[in-house]
Amino acid sequence: MKSTIALLQTSPQPAMHSALDEMVSLAEEACSAGARFLATPEYCGGLVSDGPKLVPPHAVEEEHAYLNGVKKFAFEHKVWFLVGSVAITGPDGRIFNRSFLIDDTGQVKSRYTKIHMFDIQLSETEVYRESASVEPGSNAVVMDSPIGIIGHSICYDLRFPALYRDLAKAGARILAVPAAFTKKTGEVHWHVLNRARAIENSAYVIAPCAVGDVPGGGEAYGHSLVVDPWGAVVADGGTDPRVVLADIDLAACEQACARIPSLTHDRPYSL
């Protein structure tokens, strides 16, 4: 069965209200085009940097203006929504980088807190320390949806293939990779990593990625991707805010598994 999905390639916003305005505009366009499943990037509810530290606008889940806006939109338009991630107020002044799957009644079906922290130094001047302000998660999450079983991940998780193997083994046929990938690393690694995760696991990868300058410093790469289970790029969002539409068909997952059934070929080994 084919499903039309829409990746909303949004830009990093300094506040929840401006992020919500941008999302609603693109989401209405996506719905008009026939999409019934929408997905947004990492930190779609606002992203701000302060040197190497991330300081996005945040709130507790029940009072989160962006998240509540998505719930309202999903209910009113009868669509499912993958909220790539928003900043949720956590303990001791830290935050959780958390993704949500919202159903067409506006209810939360699943939550995933980013496991792997983006702590890297690309150059003497470009340094990121996500763990300075973000509390990591510890649980992998899969959830059924009208387009298939989804395995959650967020951005830097993409570099840890064992996570995706476990998600696929748990039944995920769609691997979600919402991101705000940096332009520098995106130019060399974004496409190949997403294609590899799809090929390795005979699964679709849907990867909405923010695009443009980050308030406070940094730049997100864009190029939101849909990759099929054979590794072909079905859609690429390029370098401007926009709606990225694609059709997915889970029969392609079964075809890929039949050709190369590597998910059934794992063997124990010692090192």
In tens, the pLDDT along 109-148 reads 999 999 999 999 888 888 899 999 999 999 999 999 999 9
Q: Is 2 a catalytic residue?
A: no
Q: Which of 42, 71, 209, 253 is catalytic?
A: 42
109 is catalytic: no
Counting residues of the chain whose pLDDT is more than 70, the rounded percentage is 100
Extents of the domains making up the chain: 2-260
Task: Single out the catalytic residue among 31, 44, 71, 155.
Answer: 155
Superfamily of domain 2-260: Carbon-nitrogen hydrolase (3.60.110.10)
Its pTM stands at 0.97
71 counts as catalytic: no
Residue 1 banded pLDDT, cuts 50, 70, 90: confident
Residue 106 DSSP label: S
Q: Residue 37: pLDDT band by 50, 70, 90 thresholds?
A: very high
**Which residue among 44, 71, 114, 130 is the active-site one?**
114
Per-residue pLDDT, averaged over 189-206, amounts to: 98
Cα-based distances in Å from 150 to 125, 169, 200: 37, 12, 16
Please report, for residues 51, 129, 218, 249, the alpha-carbon distance to residue 135 in angstroms, rounded to integers and kept in the order given. Answer: 18, 12, 21, 36
Nearest by Cα to 195 from 230, 152, 148, 238: 230
